[in-house]
């Protein structure tokens, strides 16, 4: 899935959890979930579950550890979708 297709989907998923509206508005590939969007780290597991549901994939603990920003999230989702 291209960046342009994926980013809007990701934005919809993470919108309920973000605590920094400004950073969310200016979201790029480099945006970090915790440091930039101020998402409570406990909510990262909820985001993982929402991503699984949206893309019908399964994310392992290792995937979750790597999924810290928009770029890594997109890479992991695409890798799963290609399988």
Partner 1 sequence: MKKRVVITGLGVVAPNGVGVADFTNALKQGKSGITFHQDLKDLNFSCQIGGIPQISKDKISVYFTDLQLRGFNSSGILYGCMAGIDAWKDAGFDMNPESKLDYDTGLIFGTGTSGVEKFREAIYSLDEGNVRRLGSTVVLQTMASGVSAYLSGMLGLGNQVTTNSSACTTGTEALLMGYDRIINGKTKRMLVGSCSDHGPYIWGGFDAMRVMTYKHNENPEEGSRPMSATATGFVPGSGAGAMVIESLDSALERGAKIYAEVLGGEINSGGQRQGGTLTAPNPEAVQRCIEKAIENSGITSNQVQVINGHLTATSKDSLEIENWSKALNRTGNDFPYINSTKSMIGHCLAAAGAIECVASVIQLKEQFVAPNINCSDLHPEIESTVKPDKIPTKAIDVNFDVLAKASFGFGDVNACVVFRKFIKIS
Site residues (vs partner 1, CB under 8 A): 16-17, 42-43, 45-46, 49, 52
Q: In the complex with partner 1, which residue's Cβ is closer, 1 or 49?
A: 49
Instruction: Please say whether the beta carbons of 62 and 79 come within 8 A.
Output: no
Q: In the complex with partner 1, which residue's Cβ is closer, 20 or 29?
A: 20
Q: In the complex with partner 1, which residue's Cβ is closer, 43 or 72?
A: 43
The minimum distance between CB 72 and partner 1, in angstroms, equals 20
Identify the helix (H) or strand (E) that includes residue 20. Answer: none
CA 30 to chain centre: 11
Nearest to 23, CA basis, from 33, 10, 9 = 33
């Amino acid at each position: 899935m291209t960046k342009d297709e994926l980013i809007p989907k990701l934005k919809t998923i993470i919108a309920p959890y973000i605590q920094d509206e400004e950073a969310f508005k200016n979201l790029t590939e480099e945006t970090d979930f915790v440091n930039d969007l101020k998402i409570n780290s406990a909510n990262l597991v909820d985001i993982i579950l929402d991503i699984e549901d949206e893309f019908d994939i399964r994310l392992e603990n290792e995937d979750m550890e790597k999924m810290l920003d928009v770029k890594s999230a997109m890479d992991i989702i695409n890798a799963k979708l290609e399988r």
